[in-house]
Amino acid sequence: MKIIKKLLFAWNEDKEIEFLEKMAIDGYKLVKVQLGKYTFEETEPRKIVYQLDFVNLHRRNEDDYLQMYEDSGWNLSHKFGGWYYFSRDFDDGIDRSIFNNNETKKEKYKKLILFLILTGFPLYYQVLFMFPNMDPNKLTFPNFYFFFRIIVIVFTSLHLYALVRIAIVYNRLNSGINE
């Protein structure tokens, strides 16, 4: 087993795919993905094509979803949250992408944007509605709410940054610009 700690983000999906494919060429196949941590098992070096998809599924729909990709020759390497990591052996005659057009790629990013908006709602609620209505005396330095406010503002900023970066990728796909 080989563990590599590396942060990759959804708006840099191509870099993540490139990283995984290089690891396969070096003789390491993806086994597990965690936040900032990739686990590989040592195998013979070979060209493997990786693709990622983001889907929020109910458990009852997951079998049909996975069967669709399996019928197309893709194997599920790992699932991390709503991200599905698919792989298959490289073949010059077969398209490298699981998405056959910009519309299906756009749909993936649209789902990701919706997911980010829904998960960010508590942060935005805190910043927009709770903080302006707090007693100013509770926001002084030694108080818990002072630190809480800073943490929430940092997370909200990071969340908004991710949302904007994903929206930029979506808009590029929407205007037909390939990345």
pLDDT digits (tens, 9 = 90+) for 128-167: 877 777 666 665 666 667 778 888 889 999 999 999 999 9
> Residue 19 is encoded by which pair of tokens?
């990283």
In this predicted structure, what is the pLDDT of residue 124? 87
Residues facing 54 on adjacent strands: 83
Q: Give the pLDDT mean for 110-133.
A: 85
Share of the chain above pLDDT 70, in %: 86
CB-based contact 138:145 (threshold 8 Å): yes
Q: How far apart are the first and last CA of the chain?
A: 33
Residues facing 83 on adjacent strands: 54, 80
Task: Decide if pLDDT at 93 tops 80.
Answer: no
Task: Decide if pLDDT at 40 tops 50.
Answer: yes
Q: With H, G, I as helix, E, B as strand and everything else as coil, classify residue 50.
A: strand
Largest CA distance in the chain: 68
CB-based contact 20:30 (threshold 8 Å): yes
- 30 falls in which pLDDT band (50, 70, 90)? very high
> Residue 161 is encoded by which pair of tokens?
């940054």
In this predicted structure, what is the pLDDT of residue 179? 47
User: What does 62-113 look like in DSSP terms, one character per residue?
Assistant: HHHHHHHHHHTT-EEEEEETTEEEEEEE--TTS-S-S--SHHHHHHHHHHHH
Task: Decide if pLDDT at 35 tops 80.
Answer: yes
Q: How is the chain split into domains, by residue range? A: 2-89, 102-174
Q: Which residue has the tokens 């829904």?
A: 118
Q: What is the mean pLDDT of the chain?
A: 85
